Structure 1
Amino acid sequence: MTRILVAYYSSYGHVRALAQAEAEGALSVPGTIVDLRRIPETVPEAVREASGYVVDDTPPASPGDLAGYDGIILGTPTRFGMMAGQMKQFLDQAGGLWARNALVGKVGAVFASTGSQHGGHEATILSAHVPLMHFGMVIVGLPYSFAGQTHRDSIVGGSPYGAGTIAGVDGSLHPTEIDLAGARFQGAHVARVAGRLAQEDWARDAA
């Protein structure tokens, strides 16, 4: 069985909706097991309540669990053109995995939500790819075989780098059906690629 982790950080629910679609896509591939996990929150409860953060009872992710998966799909909102601090802190705790090459050859993918069409959507995903490459992971995006990302009649998220959605500056927008379809496509794409790469013996390439 191919094991896929979809781990996300979401303040207002947009990224969580995409994460659920990513998981659905991965599960559509026969022989795939998917775990959906949230990145632990660091914002104090009083601030979350005052800011209208959504309550999320999804089980939390643990950095130490990453090595048990063949593919890891990360979801994050944009914070000033980069991944959220919660996601960065989570990845910063995976130094032990890096030290023993525990993630080498595993598939990594990223999806994101931004407030506006040019609010750092691609920059967020591309910058999130950097630590995954330091781990030795194989990056998978959202290929143009998903034709939805060329849709021109309305604003949609997503790019060749990963699925996404536009939340609006006030968070009032919701993922469109095209956004969700893109996330499902990416999830399935990751599962297929991870299933093939999982057969390789990456330890033999160590020098």
Structure 2
Amino acid sequence: MSKVLVLYYSTYGHIETMANAIAEGARAAGATVDVKRVPETVPEEIAKAGHFKLDQAAPIATVAELANYDAIIVGTGTRFGRMSSQMAAFFDQAGGLWATGALNGKVGGAFTSTASQHGGQETTLFSIITNLMHFGMTIVGLPYSHQGQMSVDEIVGGAPYGATTVAGGDGARQPTAIDLAGARHQGELIAKTANKLFA
């Protein structure tokens, strides 16, 4: 079966929660899954003062190890409608992988969170997907087979381009059952796709 990396950056823990749900879905499809995060670039004293969640269990990823996976699912909170600087800095170091075509044909996906319903979820997903496509990856989003994203009965995340959640302006709102179901569904679909391509 395929080997999947869930690669994330999470300031306050929302994306960490979504990453673990993505991993659950990928494991349900029989994949071997690692959950790793990119390095924090904010000085520790500033991160502590900003109440960043610094006690995350996931190990720190290295750029070199990306080539070891059949699928890479990337998640980060939005920064003004695009990926966080921490994730961008990580990918900025991956020129060698691009130059050698090390990720060509591998499966990719994206997930994110925003403070509000209209806080740039889709543009953030596209900012991640753009990077993955430059590496030659095949993108799997979150199709409407996850019908929860169509709900108008409550605030829900999700888009055809990837799983999402709405954190609220103060970060107090956690991913909902529907958001986590979407994350698991996307993880499962990506793993199934990778299983078919790399069986």
Partner of 1:5: 5
Partner of 2:135: 135
The 3-state SS of whatever aligns with 2:110 is strand
For the pair shown, the structure with the greater C-alpha radius of gyration is: 1
Q: Give the distance between the partners of 1:198 and 1:105, measured in 2 at CA.
A: 10
Amino acid at match of 2:167: A
Pairs within 5 Å for 1:132-171: 132-171=132-171
Q: Deviations over 1:70-100 (max 9, x none)?
A: 0000000000110000001111111111111
Q: Give the distance between the partners of 1:164 and 1:94, measured in 2 at CA.
A: 25
The 3-state SS of whatever aligns with 2:22 is helix
Pairs within 5 Å for 1:50-199: 50-55=49-54, 56-199=56-199
Amino acid at match of 1:135: F
Q: Give the distance between the partners of 2:117 and 2:168, measured in 1 at CA.
A: 8
The 3-state SS of whatever aligns with 1:72 is strand
The 3-state SS of whatever aligns with 1:27 is helix
Partner of 1:37: 36
- Which 4+ stretches in 1 moved above 3 angstroms? none
1:28 is aligned to 2:28? yes
Q: Give the distance between the partners of 2:24 and 2:77, measured in 1 at CA.
A: 20
Q: How far off is 1:196 after superposition?
A: 1.1
Q: Give the distance between the partners of 1:127 and 1:57, measured in 2 at CA.
A: 26
The 3-state SS of whatever aligns with 1:133 is helix
Amino acid at match of 1:74: V
Q: Give the distance between the partners of 2:128 and 2:57, measured in 1 at CA.
A: 25
* TM-score, with structure 2 as normaliser: 0.98
Q: How far off is 1:58 after superposition?
A: 1.5
Q: Deviations over 1:166-188 (max 9, x none)?
A: 00011110000000000000000
Identity of matched residues, %: 56
Amino acid at match of 2:32: I
Which consecutive residues of structure 1, in runs of 5 or more, have no partner in the other structure?
A: 200-207
The 3-state SS of whatever aligns with 1:119 is coil
Q: Give the distance between the partners of 1:192 and 1:29, measured in 2 at CA.
A: 6
Q: How far off is 1:127 after superposition?
A: 1.5
Q: Give the distance between the partners of 1:166 and 1:28, measured in 2 at CA.
A: 25
Q: How far off is 1:194 after superposition?
A: 0.8
Q: Give the distance between the partners of 2:175 and 2:72, measured in 1 at CA.
A: 22
Q: How far off is 1:197 after superposition?
A: 1.6
Q: Give the distance between the partners of 2:127 and 2:40, measured in 1 at CA.
A: 21
Q: Deviations over 1:121-151 (max 9, x none)?
A: 0000012111111110001100011111101
Q: How far off is 1:39 after superposition?
A: 1.0
The 3-state SS of whatever aligns with 2:76 is strand
The 3-state SS of whatever aligns with 2:122 is helix
Q: Give the distance between the partners of 1:79 and 1:178, measured in 2 at CA.
A: 23
